[in-house]
Structure 1
């Protein structure tokens, strides 16, 4: 047991020191090559590189050492694909089927890595022993499997609930989760793992901004019943969504970082708007409280990861594990909110249904009384002979029997019956029998 603890201590000590073996140099002019960089003075990397977008290029240096172990150098940003590593002035191959840009290196000679990005300069780099790297990847795959499995089940349940309850909130919730899961898949480097083309990945991520904004609006607006409280908000939301689509298209064609920053800000503003609305309506019901909690998780992850990082700022660490925990809490909380809302609405609808049934019964009773009073008044309008014929019809006499009873011809009886039908607004003997002759 003692030996195991020593090994664990050595393992974590080495892990802590491994980051200190990385150095960096900022090439402001973006014109240096590997032949030029070897003589430059590098600075020790103490924190992850995080700066706003610029044309500068970063170089990372891993000095030589006496270690004979294999190492993995990795840039844990799915957008940092424009990189190349050199050792002995020769380029190194990237590791295939890796979630992020990674290189397998040995420490017998210095290694230089050149990195650039058309987005913000966010380079969370790490240097680990190959065994440690594979262990960490196994743990991350396990976490990812749990998160995406749970998200997939909730998406399936949302579809089933939609077809069962016919409530649009469920289908909007489904598409919102799909957009969020897609964003997580991209940030996790899953598409890189399957060797998707970088241009295709960038375009899919870009157009996902529109779907994320659109379905977050549809879900939040429907879920919170915003039209009942703030009917003018829909027009404002439509303006933001149209602008999101506009900047998606503009960035697709022009690839200007300023357009991408505006796109992120617009998407954040849409989420912020509906979160503020949920706060204003928070005392209306319990499901709105759950919505407020779930949306604030999306909000703070969004502002930190997609907005502030574009300006070279970060308030807290968006580590994959932290984002998965936050994402899972958000997905589960939002799902409970949707189900709870449906339960509340069904209970309210059941109450309204009973009220409508009782109201209809009262209307029917009132109508029946009115009809009865009307019939009574109509009977009073009958002549003496018509009333005599009417009374005989009520007790079930035929026209022939009535003719013999009152000593008139059958045609005369038919004439009186026709007049009775007209005055009472009826069409058959059955209707005559429904009238209480004693009234």
Structure 2
């Protein structure tokens, strides 16, 4: 717990320190907009058309070309202007004044942060903006000062967050290779998918991929988050043992979301992504609800419910209002990163806690097996021991065990772990589990403790 609180305190210390910058002067302005559905408008034709006031930056799934008229209320400015648009899904921007295109300098490669130096002392700008995905236009305008350190601090925040994620991925991979528990692998898949999604919204994917593929890759990350999140939650909680048919419902929802995502690749209609994102939210909400239902029955459910909560609902408030153009409270990408930070800490601890429990159970089982083996070694007469052994084999033949099941049964009696049995018989760990389950069913026992009692009753000398 001390390490947990220390990590949280360190994160917020770095986050708040990275948010400090030279004070900048925000300008007061209004925005009018027009959707160019046919993509035939020009800056001249737009100037004479009626435009609607932009009341919210969320315009929804109707992507394409939009024209924005930005009217500065301060008419007396001489400094360079900074047009800041922290939105990676914008494909291109042209800036006009008095009907002529003006040049700008880009400060940021992963999203639009534009410095305009050459302009007339005129308070109206027209922006032609092309959106490939959802239409989100969170414009900020400032008087630009070279002393402003916003971009540098932003990249420092990026470094802190992605560095933490990388450490968590490496740690969980090491757990997987050392403990051979696939839960760590499922979680790595989920964490990597979330990170790819955040990279897409941060705009870093478009630095790696061709610009034409960026809109498709960002949508693909939505599906990966949905699938990996459901898969990890289902396996981590072992929901099938509580709700055997729940798997079917989950996979139907995942399949429906994947169909809508797939159709987007052919139609480029972002409405399909908005529908798929909504279904995806219900997929992860369904997993989270399963955790609620077994909250008092499964200790691991507590970790999943708490760890999922912040990132699940912050992501929903970030993605869904933007996709549907809903004018409501919208979470920021920073909220998602904070939620991801807590989710990494809580779920990684939950998985390691699960391993500790399993190790304790295995240790207790080995102690009981060792106790039984000591009893076996106490047989003074080797010949009698062999007779008892043959009597034991004769008694278990009535249970119709296969040759391989008998071998597994005998190695269990010797106190070997599942991993050691797999190595000795040159079979997989899952195959060992399969044989043990069949043995239990045929003999009529339910646990390893009952197996020990069975060994003791039939192998003890009479």
Task: Give a deviation string over 1:249-273, Cα, whole Å, max 9, x none.
Answer: 2211122223212221222122111
Task: Give a deviation string over 1:258-315, Cα, whole Å, max 9, x none.
Answer: 3212221222122111101111122235443122111112221232222232222265
Counterpart in the other structure of 2:180: 166
Say which SS state the counterpart of residue 131 (structure 1) adopts.
Answer: coil
TM-score by length of 2: 0.69
1:126 corresponds to 2:134: no
Deviates more, 1:322-331 or 1:143-152: 322-331
Counterpart in the other structure of 2:97: 87
Task: Give a deviation string over 1:130-186, Cα, whole Å, max 9, x none.
Answer: 237942222211111111100010001011111011110111111111110111111
Counterpart in the other structure of 1:205: 218
* TM alignment of 1:152-231, pairs within 5 A: 152-192=166-206, 194=207, 196-231=209-244
Q: What RMSD in Å do the two structures reach over aligned CA positions? A: 3.3
CA gap 1:204/1:195 in 2 versus in 1, 3 angstroms: closer
Counterpart in the other structure of 2:353: 340
Counterpart in the other structure of 1:69: 79
Say which SS state the counterpart of residue 301 (structure 1) adopts.
Answer: helix
Counterpart in the other structure of 1:270: 283
CA distance in structure 1 between the aligned counterparts of 2:198 and 2:351, rounded to whole angstroms: 22
Say which SS state the counterpart of residue 124 (structure 1) adopts.
Answer: coil
Say which of 96, 100, 107 aligns to 2:111. Answer: 100
Say which SS state the counterpart of residue 145 (structure 2) adopts.
Answer: helix
CA distance in structure 2 between the aligned counterparts of 1:374 and 1:191, rounded to whole angstroms: 70
CA gap 1:372/1:304 in 2 versus in 1, 3 angstroms: closer
CA distance in structure 1 between the aligned counterparts of 2:301 and 2:329, rounded to whole angstroms: 27
Give how far 1:240 is off.
2.7
Counterpart in the other structure of 1:400: none
Say which SS state the counterpart of residue 211 (structure 1) adopts.
Answer: helix
Say which SS state the counterpart of residue 128 (structure 2) adopts.
Answer: strand
CA gap 1:93/1:238 in 2 versus in 1, 3 angstroms: farther
Counterpart in the other structure of 1:428: none
Give how far 1:343 is off.
1.6
Give how far 1:349 is off.
2.6
CA distance in structure 2 between the aligned counterparts of 1:94 and 1:354, rounded to whole angstroms: 73
Say which SS state the counterpart of residue 149 (structure 2) adopts.
Answer: helix
Deviates more, 1:52-61 or 1:327-336: 52-61
Say which of 301, 304, 311 aligns to 1:298. Answer: 311
